[in-house]
Structure 1
Amino acid sequence: MYLASLIIWVLNFVPGILPQSRILRVNPATAKLGEDALITYTFTPEPGDDFDYLVWFESDADGVIQGVAGNIINNIPGNPPPNPRYNLSDNGSLIIYNVEVEDTGYYLLRVILAISDQEPWVDVFSTLTVFYIETPLLEPQEKTVNENESAIFLCPLPDGVPTPITITWIKDGGALNVSDTEKYPQLDTTLEIIRVNEMDEGDYQCRAENEAYSGDEGKLSNTGTLSVFHQPKPTTHHSQKIEPGSDTDLLVGITFLGIVIGIVLSSSVFVFLWWKTRTSSSNKYTTYNTKQKTDIQTYEDLRRNEDTPSVYEDLSTEGYTPSVYMNVKTKR
């Protein structure tokens, strides 16, 4: 076996032993979507060949030319290409400007020989692969959950070439660290967040990547916003720290002001009631004292006006109670 391979190598590469064979090769090509593609070829004529011109065609996987429309371009002088997106390099390689996904396929090169001992042309075909990746779609666009519940975002794999396609999760513009499998138990096309808290709130995106489009060249999805509903917690005044300028500081100030106003109002009512009581007692004493003085004055007046002595019986009681005087005349 090794001896046969050595003989074939000698026959092909040692001049003069065998005549040189004709070789035509079209090299596979790749290009990113929107870039320019270059499909190159190599042609080695055999003795007696006279190169005339070449033509590029679209073909199928078997190298069969796709009808008359398959004629893309040739290098015949004065024969312009049917499509301005196609052109030829100086050596006849095919150039396709601003490639599209539909440009992916098979391309056949036909070399026309003016003088040949065999067929007047040689056909060889190869492929053009256009790399691309579509923009993924993130669902839902808005998500609200209670604190300590779970949240889920979905990002189905988009179409693209080459494969495989991977998903990178983005939060607030930066790559999300999903190394904690307890926090993020399900990844790839599904992002599940366990026991959400206020730190999980924000804008989420997924970025689709492949070998041709990785990192920042990947395609970003739309944004999904996660909001967390926080359960109210009991207030513990003894352990609550008041930050200057905070809402708690304002609440404490209002509460303190209310207490002061309550104390002032209570003191005012107490003073008013005390004053009212004192005033009432003073008026009562004055009334009784005035009445007593009036009764005494009346008694004195009666004594001065009587022509004859009279006997009066004092029926007054002690203290400030009113006194009653009775005039009893004596018999003469």
Structure 2
Amino acid sequence: MRLEHVGRRHGPRGPWVLREVSLDLPAAALVRVVGTNGTGKSTLLRLLAGVDAPTEGRVTGRPVRTAYVPERFPVALPFTAVDYLVHLGRVQGLGRAAARARAGEWLERFGAGEHAGTGLAELSKGTSQKVAVAQALLADPALLVLDEAWTGLDTGARAELDTAVRERLAAGATVVFVDHDPRRLEGEAAVVYGVEGGRVREATPSGLPGPAPGRPAAGGGLREARCGPGGASAGAGLVVAGGGLREARCGPGSGAGGSSVGGGGPVSAVTPAVSGAAASRPSVRIVVSGGRPLPGRLPGDPAVAPGTDGGTTVLTVDAAHSDALLGALLAASWHVHHLGTEGVRV
């Protein structure tokens, strides 16, 4: 599959979200897309899946069986969970009996079998996400596109989705994904694309050969940063920050000090002074409530303050660390009320 000089903007006079994207999507490979919030990752995934059409350029070679899990699942549909899956299976070319059988199998695999007869609008957010993931896996897609598909899933369902991704890869499919957790399928991606400033560049996952001749790496090159006691790494991922793609190896408990969130109530913290260059970088504000205590140091050392609404907490972090911070919060069952960006190009 190939994207040639692809650009996308909303409306004839709207700002460009992506511009001059040219890439060859490898067959039978795991592809990770990274970048700060608002840079166009979801737009790139929708273009790959065929949900959006490019404003300029062209996309060729998309497999007939392409499946997509959106960042937000449309629950307000007049179906039960199993009827919705059967309907989508039929759309994807399965017979009714096969679609119903596979719907039941996937609901069971994700721990949602008991909700097969429940209306979509009555499902919890987590169960709705299981249905969203199941619909994408029904018909053995040759291209599977996952936009934060793990978000909202419980631990068992996340592990099952990891397994399903590996099954599709073993069957010769290509899987493209975005996820907040930098440790998701760590070390398994054959290609990493970084999105920044409306451009997409190929970077090299740690331990793999470098980009092919003539293919530029992300602006600023690939740099590695390690943190943790004695330089040990507790997790790894690739993030776009400060004009370059960097590999960050951090995890709960790495290092000392920093801001910690716990107990579910408002938390206050002293915000360290930052240099003028750091202060000018894009920042992200995340408003959360509830959740389990988070041990150790949070990704990006966010400034933490009580929210204006009772029981909420506001975390402000450099945009380069926002994905990792969101992943840590969601993993600890914190509820995200609002996410706002300052200085981030959308």
TM-score bracket relative to the smaller structure: under 0.3
TM-score (norm 2): 0.20
Structure with greater strand percent: 1
Per chain length, whose mean CA-contact separation is higher, i.e. which structure has more relative contact order (CA < 8 Å, sep 6+)?
2
TM-score (norm 1): 0.20
